[in-house]
């Protein structure tokens, strides 16, 4: 996160507040889904709890195995977020095939979310299952993406590919070049539109 963790956390908080403001007064408590990986995933989860979302944890492995992938297996921050989650779903990923596990949790996150909030540095994927792959999945399934640039201090942007079903989805890099800066009012409108077409409303954060 070359742009700085505090700046990114502030943008995440602003985005989540704006999304929440777009919901009707009678809407159920919005849910924020996170894999709770080290870095931006946790910044997203912290910002979501601070702004009144229900946190749902969706993990690529069992919690015990997941800890083995962290810098410090005795991870108090992870344990705290897990204790504050309203639900925990552990996918059956294997430490012997971490790429498959990360790809699977990314696909599951996109499937269950209505809007993807992504912190991305604009670079290509280092391997399967990374942030660019998750964003591409969202593009392919016509989910709106709210993008916070992890590499530069830039305004939050929105990417949303809408097309006829027979059109090929654009590549992430192509869509990113035409991403529109998003004011808080535009972000609120994105949330309002998503809610109006859905019975449930989930926001997912991806590092």
pTM of the model: 0.90
More confident residue, 137 or 124: 137
For 137-168, write each residue's pLDDT tens digit.
999 999 999 999 999 889 999 998 876 555 78
Q: Domains in the chain: how many in total?
A: 1
Is 201 a residue whose pLDDT tops 60? no
Per-residue pLDDT band at 127 (split at 50, 70, 90): confident
Domain harbouring 93, CATH code: 3.40.50.450
pLDDT at residue 34 greater than cutoff 80:
yes
For residue 145 the two structure tokens come to: 């993406």
Task: Give 46-52's long-range contacts (Cβ < 8 A, gap of 24+).
Answer: 46/9, 46/81, 47/9, 47/12, 47/13, 47/16, 48/16, 48/203, 48/205, 49/81, 49/84, 50/13, 51/13, 51/16, 51/17, 51/20, 52/20
Bridge-based pairing state of the strands 87-90 and 115-120: unpaired
Of 87-96, 117-126, 147-156, which gets the smallest average pLDDT?
A: 117-126
Percent of the chain with pLDDT over 70: 90
What residue numbers bound the domain in which 114 lies? Answer: 5-206
Q: What is the average pLDDT score of the chain? A: 89
């Amino acid at each position: 996160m070359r742009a700085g963790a505090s700046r990114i956390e502030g943008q995440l908080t602003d985005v989540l507040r704006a999304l929440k403001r777009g919901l009707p007064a009678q809407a159920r408590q919005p849910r924020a889904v996170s894999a709770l990986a080290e870095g931006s995933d946790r910044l997203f989860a912290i910002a979501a709890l601070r702004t009144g979302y229900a946190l749902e944890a969706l993990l690529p492995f069992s919690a015990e195995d997941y800890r083995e992938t962290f810098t410090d297996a005795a991870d108090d921050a992870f344990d705290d977020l897990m204790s504050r989650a309203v639900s925990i779903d552990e996918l059956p990923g294997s430490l012997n095939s971490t790429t498959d596990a990360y790809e699977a949790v990314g696909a599951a996150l996109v499937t269950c979310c209505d809007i993807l909030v992504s912190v991305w540095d604009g670079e290509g994927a280092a391997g399967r299952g990374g942030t660019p792959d998750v964003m591409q999945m969202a593009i392919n399934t016509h989910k709106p993406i709210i993008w916070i640039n992890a590499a530069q201090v830039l305004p939050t942007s929105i990417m949303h590919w809408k097309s006829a079903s027979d059109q090929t989805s654009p590549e992430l890099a192509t869509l990113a070049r035409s991403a529109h800066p998003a004011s808080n009012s535009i972000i609120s409108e994105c949330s309002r539109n998503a809610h109006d077409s859905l019975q449930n409303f989930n926001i997912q954060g991806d590092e």
